[in-house]
Amino acid sequence: MNVRPPLEVSDEFLHIQDEFLTNETLNKNLTSAEDITEIKGKVALWRGDITTLNVDAIVNAANSKLLGCFIPLHNCIDNVIHSSAGIQLRQECSEIMHRQGHDEEVGKAKITNAYNLPSKHVIHTVGPAIPYGAEPSNEDCEKLSSCYKSCLDLASYNELKSIAFCSISTGVFNFPQRKAAEIAIKTVEDYLNENKTSLEKVIFDTFSQRSYLIYKNLLFGG
């Protein structure tokens, strides 16, 4: 699945794949937006696998090609989301990119269906990449903030009620975790305060204990 280019595939293959992935999803411990109880206003914090969230949209930290990760078994969120969704996700992303005619810009976002994921949609955004050991520039910080704004705009435009963010750019793109969390929280809170939106819950999904504690300290003071 991860190395296959976005080409046509038989209905028989899709039927078998969807049956398998649906069964995989149903055997996971799924979490809905209503199940998440660490809340501050419309902002929520949760630790776990983003592919188990039964929400209106989850956010994927994508690369500029927007086609997913082609490295077999690579443990990045792009790979995990595409693997759980099925090859239709890569095909839809390919159609979007073909119409666009150029790589996705940093700070922008696109929305797709979620296919075999428990969420309804995936919103793909490209965060800034920081050289290893370097500090992000003001422009990098602005572009990371733009990622969150672009995703929130798409969610609001599509009248979604819940969205779950991963920690954009903090994996292989090397953005410092605490700085990224500060930008994420400020951007989301400012957006919710300044805009009329359909969103009722914005979830920060963390995977590691360290990331969870960073967000918990920033949101709740401990």
Which tens digit of pLDDT belongs to each residue from 35-44? 999 999 999 9
How confident is the model over 1-25, as a mean pLDDT?
93
Q: What percent of the chain has pLDDT over 70?
A: 100
For the chain, give every domain's residue range: 31-221
The answer to whether residue 126 scores a pLDDT higher than 70 is yes
Which of these, 165, 152, 149, lies nearest to 199 by C-alpha position?
Answer: 152
The Cα–Cα gap between 163 and 195 comes to: 16
- Out of 3.40.640.10, 3.40.50.970, 3.40.220.10, 3.40.50.300, the CATH code matching 31-221 is 3.40.220.10
The Cα–Cα gap between 103 and 12 comes to: 32
Indicate if the alpha-carbon torsion angle 129, 141, 184, 146 is positive or negative: negative
pLDDT value, residue 222: 58
pLDDT digits (tens, 9 = 90+) for 163-200: 999 999 998 899 999 999 999 999 999 999 999 999 99
The Cα–Cα gap between 19 and 131 comes to: 41
> What's the whole-number average pLDDT of the chain?
95
pLDDT value, residue 74: 86
